[in-house]
């Protein structure tokens, strides 16, 4: 009888694992590079849980040459006793699927809560998985194959010292489209975890390329902020506040730089809240209130001169907001569950920040003055930009003068902002073809001459003196920087069209940097694109085909007697060809630029486009493999 129910349970378990293999996306989001790395995060989560509970302060991730990955922790070791089902506890946690959906396993498991939620999913999606457990002075071993089938049941291997768990797995190449783990991706994520788990050491080893990195931070998120602001001019040392309200632990570190960017990154139970939520609202509300109160009571804003906006007091601010919330009141919202819903979190953060920041400003008046002056500058610029936009809308005299400045622009005839497209075209000759070949009703062409300014290395006042940049801001019509207002944007699509060569790539990078820094909402709203012109023209008799990659060219010309022309630049195409291949909806290929991870994007742009050479060199050396994805996900 017991035997029978044991078998029945085993079948159920294998059915569960099979379901994961059938629809992996439901459990790990995708089966591309991102999903592949998700497997590591799932396993590391268990080690992190154990470390948070006070067991083991060292975690090691090894990327092996055989494309498998192992995660080692120095916790208590997974229990090895027999579970009531007749299976070992170790077998159970690596094979029994936790009930629930897609993102549940991303949740923080507070002490005493759920453990090992994602391990069985990783097992299901692996060619093999081995677990080695050091516990009770003995080393134990269990091996699974082909999506979680037990190959070697739990056994004692021999005596050992210390305690801990090591999980090694090989992702199933039949499931994943990508099979190479990226050392950089793993390091970036582990560094972030190490910042959040102060005092814990996380080591990442890449066996194949013989390199490793160790992350350990005694001051936690304070060092996180220092890292984010590396290479920037800062106005003061990092401020850190913490406190507990309503059983919610709040920890905040913040620092102002002399840049114009706002970089607030928030976490709940060590999981990043990409879409913000109540804690970020509380943080922003407190900042605006405290700085306005200080500015008014110290004579920075007199009479009815108007308050500082939230965007004014956040200009140049880098901050980490990290909360620990008990499971009972934890609520996530949104499609990807990246937004904190818990209403109490707003008050908790608001309270901690208001109390502490007020005192800090009173005690550090020189710094307070610097920050307020910076915010006031933003306020003046914001009001000036608004006025300029209003003038532009009304069509005042000044506007006509400015319009002549952008005489290069071939405007679209339509006034319909939801249909109009703006092409930013490299070079006058391609600009000429584009003007001829376009759909005049909806497509506007702005040819750009020469190299675009690197806005990452240039001060704002210099940037605004640059004619090329000025024309773009004016043409798009929605302002720039913290005063950019997407509602005023004249176009539904802004399309960068440059040659498919090195120079063209450089121009793309420079333009992407400009849009990222000064018109970020354009990207966030999905309105920025890069046009993909063809690399080859293949002519067979009278028939003309185009190819966008070398492989496609080979494929299309195979076994044919044809003429192959490699386009060196857009200028080599005549107006009809350019229109057909690169501009006409339906036959063109556009790449939408998106920001997948705001914090990473921030770091990438400043490393790749900024003043500091060594970090750029390091990044390029470590990332020799470039893919389209890497190029455009800035």
Does position 190 bind ligand 0R9 by CB under 6 A?
no
CB atoms within 10 A of CB 194: 22
115 touches ligand 0R9 (CB under 6 A): yes
Of positions 75, 171, 431, 504, contacts ligand 0R9 by CB under 6 A: 75
Shortest separation between residue 3's beta carbon and ligand 0R9, angstroms: 24
Q: Is 476 in the site for ligand 0R9 (CB under 6 A)?
A: no
Q: Is 73 in the site for ligand 0R9 (CB under 6 A)?
A: yes
Residue 59 CB, nearest approach to ligand 0R9 (Å): 8
Q: Is 148 in the site for ligand 0R9 (CB under 6 A)?
A: no
Looking at 28, 33, 38, 50, which residue binds ligand 0R9 (CB under 6 A)? 50
Let me know: does 269 contact 250? Beta carbons within 8 Å: no
Contact 67, 179 (CB under 8 A): yes
List the one residue from 63, 69, 93, 205 that touches ligand 0R9 (CB under 6 A). Answer: 93
| Of the candidate residues 13, 80, 96, 167, the single one contacting ligand 0R9 (CB under 6 A) | 167
Six-digit token string for 100: 């629930």
426 belongs to the catalytic site: yes
The token pair that represents 223 in the structure block: 């060092």
Nearer to ligand 0R9, 77 or 571 (CB): 77
Q: Does 78 bind ligand 0R9 (CB under 6 A)?
A: yes
Q: Which one of 21, 64, 67, 76 is in contact with ligand 0R9 (CB under 6 A)?
A: 76
Give phi and psi for 110, each to the nearest 5: -65, 155
Count Cβ atoms within 10 A of the Cβ of residue 141 and give its class: 0-12 exposed, 13-18 middle, 19 or more buried: middle
Task: Determine the 3-state secondary structure of 458 from DSSP.
Answer: coil
Q: State the catalytic residue, choosing from 207, 249, 485, 501.
A: 501
Q: How far is the CB of 43 from ligand 0R9 (least distance, A)?
A: 5
**319: which strand partners?**
254, 264
- Upper half-sphere CA count for residue 338 (Cβ side, 13 Å): 12
Stretch that binds ligand 0R9, among 69-77, 209-217, 361-369, 519-527 (CB under 6 A): 69-77
Smallest distance from ligand 0R9 to CB 85, Å: 13
78 or 410: whose CB is closer to ligand 0R9? 78
Cα 537 to Cα 283: distance, rounded to the nearest angstrom: 55
Q: From the CB of 126, what's the least distance to ligand 0R9, in Å?
A: 14
Most distant pair of Cα atoms in the chain: their distance: 93
**Residues 349-378 vs ligand 0R9: string with x where CB under 6 A?**
------------------------------
Contact between 569 and ligand 0R9 per CB under 6 A:
no
CA dihedral 401, 407, 409, 411 (to 10 degrees): 70
Residue 126 or residue 166: which is nearer to ligand 0R9 going by CB? 166
Asked whether position 165 contacts ligand 0R9 by CB under 6 A, the answer is yes
Cα separation, 132 vs 56, in Å, equals 16
With a CB cutoff of 8 Å and minimum separation 6, the contacts of 187 are 204, 213, 215
Contact segment (CB under 6 A) with ligand 0R9 among 40-48, 98-106, 259-267, 595-603 equals 40-48
Which residues, listed in sequence order, are joined to residue 88 by a DSSP beta bridge? Answer: 82
Tokens of 214: 């160790």
For residue 499, indicate whether it is catalytic. yes
Closest residue by Cα to residue 447 from 420, 427, 467, 471: 427
The tokens for 43 are 């396993």
Of 81 and 210, the one with the shorter C-beta distance to ligand 0R9 is: 81
Active site residue 503: yes
Choosing from 426, 456, 468, 580, the catalytic residue is 426
Query: Which of 503, 555, 576, 630 is an active site residue?
Result: 503
Considering only CA atoms, give the Rg of the chain.
Answer: 28
Contacts of 204 (CB under 8 A, 6+ apart): 60, 61, 62, 63, 183, 186, 187, 190, 212, 213, 214, 215
Q: Are 322 and 196 in contact (CB under 8 A)?
A: yes
Q: Considering the complex, what minimum distance in angstroms separates the CB of residue 98 from ligand 0R9?
A: 10
Which stretches of the chain bind ligand 0R9, using CB under 6 A? Answer: 43, 46-47, 50, 71-73, 75-79, 89, 93, 115-116, 119, 165-167
Which amino acids are annotated catalytic? Answer: 426, 499, 501, 503
């Amino acid at each position: 009888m017991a035997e029978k129910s044991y078998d029945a349970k085993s079948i159920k378990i294998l059915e569960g694992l099979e379901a994961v293999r059938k629809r992996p996306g439901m459990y790990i989001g995708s089966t591309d590079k991102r999903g592949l790395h998700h497997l590591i995060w799932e396993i590391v989560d268990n080690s992190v849980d154990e470390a948070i509970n006070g067991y083991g302060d060292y975690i090691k991730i090894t990327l092996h040459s055989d494309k498998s990955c192992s995660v080692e922790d120095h916790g208590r070791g997974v229990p090895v006793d027999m579970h009531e089902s007749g299976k070992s506890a170790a077998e159970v946690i690596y094979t029994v699927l936790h009930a629930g959906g897609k993102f549940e396993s991303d949740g923080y498991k507070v002490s005493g809560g759920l453990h090992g939620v994602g391990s069985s999913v990783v097992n299901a999606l692996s060619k093999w998985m081995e677990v080695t457990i050091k516990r009770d002075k003995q080393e134990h071993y269990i091996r699974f194959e082909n999506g979680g089938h037990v190959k070697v049941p739990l056994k004692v291997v021999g005596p050992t010292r210390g305690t801990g768990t090591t999980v090694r797995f090989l992702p199933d190449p039949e499931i994943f489209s990508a099979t190479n783990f990226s050392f950089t991706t793993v390091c970036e994520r582990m560094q972030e975890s190490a910042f959040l788990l102060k005092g814990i050491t996380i080591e990442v080893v890449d066996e194949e390329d013989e390199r490793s990195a160790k992350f350990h931070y005694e001051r936690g998120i304070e060092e996180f902020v220092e890292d984010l602001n590396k290479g920037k001019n800062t106005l003061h040392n990092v401020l850190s506040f913490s406190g507990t309200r309503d059983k919610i632990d709040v920890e905040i570190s913040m620092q102002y730089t002399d840049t114009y960017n706002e970089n607030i990154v928030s976490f709940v139970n060590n999981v990043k809240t990409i879409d913000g939520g109540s804690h970020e609202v509380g943080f922003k509300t407190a900042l605006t209130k405290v700085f306005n109160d200080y500015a008014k009571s110290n004579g920075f804003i007199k009479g009815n001169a108007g308050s500082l906006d939230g965007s004014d007091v956040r200009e140049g601010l880098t901050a980490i907001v990290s909360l620990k919330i008990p499971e009972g009141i934890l609520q996530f919202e949104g499609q990807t569950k990246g937004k904190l819903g818990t209403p109490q979190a707003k008050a908790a953060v608001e309270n901690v920040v208001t109390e502490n920041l007020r005192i800090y400003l009173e005690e550090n008046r020189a710094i307070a003055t610097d920050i307020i002056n910076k915010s006031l500058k933003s306020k003046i610029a914001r009001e000036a930009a608004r006025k300029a936009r209003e003038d532009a809308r009304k069509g005042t005299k000044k506007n006509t003068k400015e319009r002549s400045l952008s005489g290069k622009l071939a405007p679209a005839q339509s006034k319909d902002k939801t249909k109009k497209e703006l092409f930013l075209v490299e070079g006058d000759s391609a600009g000429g073809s584009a003007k001829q070949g376009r759909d005049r009703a909806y497509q506007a062409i702005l040819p750009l001459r020469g190299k675009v300014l690197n806005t990452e290395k240039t001060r704002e006042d210099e940037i605004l003196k640059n004619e090329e940049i000025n024309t773009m801001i004016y043409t798009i019509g929605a302002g720039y920087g913290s005063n950019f207002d997407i509602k005023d944007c004249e176009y539904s699509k802004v399309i960068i069209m440059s040659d498919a060569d090195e120079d063209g790539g450089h121009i793309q990078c420079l333009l992407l940097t400009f849009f990222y820094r000064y018109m970020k909402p354009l990207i966030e709203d999905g309105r920025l694109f890069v046009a993909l012109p063809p690399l080859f023209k293949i002519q067979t008799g009278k028939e003309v085909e185009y190819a966008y990659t070398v492989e496609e060219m080979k494929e299309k010309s195979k076994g044919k007697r044809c003429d192959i022309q490699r386009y060196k630049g857009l200028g080599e195409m005549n107006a009809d060809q350019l229109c057909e291949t690169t501009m006409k909806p339906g036959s063109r290929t556009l790449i939408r630029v998106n920001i997948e991870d705001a914090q990473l994007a921030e770091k990438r742009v400043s490393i790749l486009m900024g003043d500091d050479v060594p970090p750029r060199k390091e990044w390029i050396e470590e990332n020799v493999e470039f893919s389209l994805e890497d190029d455009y996900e800035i």
